[in-house]
């Protein structure tokens, strides 16, 4: 009993290998039982990109398409993110894309799998994977995509609506930007609201792109 409770409290920690290389972790994450989300998901979705990436983009959790593909940001939100990265002048080889939570959480409505937001406990349980990715990558810049990622790394009181843009997060990276989640742009109520949300999202990404360009290649 004490053992099983310990496993829950530790979340993903017992499943993260001592050697934090990306290929080793990408394989090991499939065996993670650090919280209940693995049960209903197809597979874990680890980050994508190389260890030399200069900027880490952190989303919430994989969506329906990502769960099937095993790769983050391949669905509609990912397409918008790709467009924003290109507009910001951030090359794909410079970016590592990942999520705060590695398994898709959903409810079934008929045959459709409807996204559900991870709880704070699930985000906390999955945190050792994200910490290990950040430790391995030691990125110059981090972009937090939406409230789940921002609150995971900046604290539960953080509000993207109030404090989006460049934020101080010593210990995380030299340069940190908190912005909205691309899926929130796609959910905007009408075309005008969507255009405004997209412009603001792209502007946040552009700030990160400009900083990376100024800093030059390491």
State yes or no: residue 61 binds ligand URA (CB under 6 A).
yes
Q: Which is nearer to ligand URA, 57 or 141 (CB)?
A: 57
Q: Which is nearer to ligand URA, 28 or 80 (CB)?
A: 80
State yes or no: residue 73 binds ligand URA (CB under 6 A).
yes
Tokens standing for 148?
Answer: 């789940």
What's the CA dihedral at 131, 132, 136, 142 to 10 degrees? -30
Q: Which is nearer to ligand SF4, 11 or 59 (CB)?
A: 11
3-state secondary structure of 14: helix
Q: Which is nearer to ligand SF4, 32 or 57 (CB)?
A: 32
Q: Which is nearer to ligand SF4, 26 or 65 (CB)?
A: 26
Tokens standing for 176?
Answer: 């940190």
Locus of tokens 């940190």: 176
Which partner from the list ligand URA, ligand SF4, none does 126 bind, CB cut-off 5 to 8 Å by kind?
ligand SF4
Locus of tokens 């951030």: 90
Three state DSSP letters for 64-91: HHHHHHCCCCCCHHHHHHHHHHHHCCCC
Helices (H) and strands (E) in the chain, counts: 9, 7
34-63 residues in contact with ligand SF4 (CB under 6 A) are: 34-35, 37-38, 44
Residue of 47, 59, 118, 139 interacting with ligand URA (CB under 6 A): 59
What character string, x for contact with ligand SF4 (CB under 6 A) and - otherwise, covers 102-121? xx------------------
The alpha helices in the chain, defined as continuous H runs, are 2-10, 22-28, 64-69, 76-87, 120-137, 147-154, 160-163, 182-186, 191-215
Give dist(CA 41, CA 105) in Å, integer: 7
Which partner from the list ligand SF4, ligand URA, none does 99 bind, CB cut-off 5 to 8 Å by kind?
ligand URA
Residue of 35, 37, 54, 60 interacting with ligand URA (CB under 6 A): 60
77-96 residues in contact with ligand SF4 (CB under 6 A) are: none
Give dist(CA 218, CA 216) in Å, integer: 6
Query: How many Cβ atoms sit within 10 Å of the Cβ of residue 23?
Result: 10
State yes or no: residue 32 binds ligand SF4 (CB under 6 A).
yes
Q: Which is nearer to ligand URA, 119 or 215 (CB)?
A: 119
Which partner from the list ligand URA, ligand SF4, none does 169 bind, CB cut-off 5 to 8 Å by kind?
none
Shortest distance (Å) from residue 76 CB to ligand URA: 8
């Amino acid at each position: 009993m004490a053992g099983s409770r310990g496993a829950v409290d530790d979340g993903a920690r017992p499943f993260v290998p001592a050697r934090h290389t990306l290929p080793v972790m990408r394989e090991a994450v499939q065996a993670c039982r650090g919280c209940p989300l693995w049960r209903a998901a197809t597979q874990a979705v680890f980050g994508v990109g190389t260890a030399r990436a200069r900027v880490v983009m952190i989303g919430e959790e994989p969506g329906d398409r990502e769960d099937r593909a095993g790769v983050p940001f391949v669905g509609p939100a990912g397409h918008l993110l790709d467009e924003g990265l290109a507009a910001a002048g951030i090359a794909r080889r410079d970016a590592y894309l990942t999520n705060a939570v590695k398994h898709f959480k959903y409810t079934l409505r008929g045959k459709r799998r409807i996204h559900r937001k991870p709880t704070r406990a699930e985000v906390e349980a999955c945190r050792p994977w994200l910490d290990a990715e950040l430790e391995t990558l030691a990125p110059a810049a981090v972009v937090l995509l939406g409230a789940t990622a921002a609150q995971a790394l900046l604290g539960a009181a953080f509000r993207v609506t109030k404090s989006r843009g460049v934020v101080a997060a010593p210990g995380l990276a030299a340069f940190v930007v908190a912005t909205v989640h691309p899926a929130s742009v796609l959910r905007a109520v009408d075309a005008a609201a969507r255009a405004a949300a997209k412009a603001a999202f792209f502007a946040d990404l552009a700030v990160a792109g400009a900083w990376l360009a100024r800093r030059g290649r390491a």
